[in-house]
Amino acid sequence: TQLLEQSPQFLSIQEGENLTVYCNSSSVFSSLQWYRQEPGEGPVLLVTVVTGGEVKKLKRLTFQFGDARKDSSLHITAAQPGDTGLYLCAGSNFGNEKLTFGTGTRLTIIP
């Protein structure tokens, strides 16, 4: 079983601060996705990364896939209350397309 550990589990910061959350595994993944989930809703895709070392930016969010494709990070610049939610990483491999989700980071941005 491929496990994805996310840290921190909970994070509460003030509006305007920067933050980084992490997704780590002992297994290699062909691709890794990041989702955000708000209360009462299903997760919504933010980004997919497939190349080791890849960096993708989505406005104030920066995603990086580790060189060995075992880990990833999400950096948010100047956090806003709208960034509040549960952030989930999820990995899959070519040929076995079950998408395994990480343990999640619950982020709260305080106005």
**Interface ranges with another protein (CB under 8 A):** 30-31, 33, 35, 40-45, 48, 50, 88, 90, 92-94, 96-104
CB-nearer residue toward another protein: 33 or 71? 33
Give the number of other CB atoms < 10 A from CB of residue 45: 10
Taking the complex as a whole, the smallest distance from the CB of residue 92 to another protein amounts, in Å, to 4
Rounded to a whole number of angstroms, the minimum distance from the CB of residue 59 to another protein is 18
Q: Which is nearer to another protein, 3 or 110 (CB)?
A: 3
Nearer to another protein, 97 or 111 (CB): 97
Minimum Å gap between C-beta 30 and another protein is: 5
Distance of CA 5 to the CA centre of its chain: 11
CB 72 within 8 A of CB 55: no
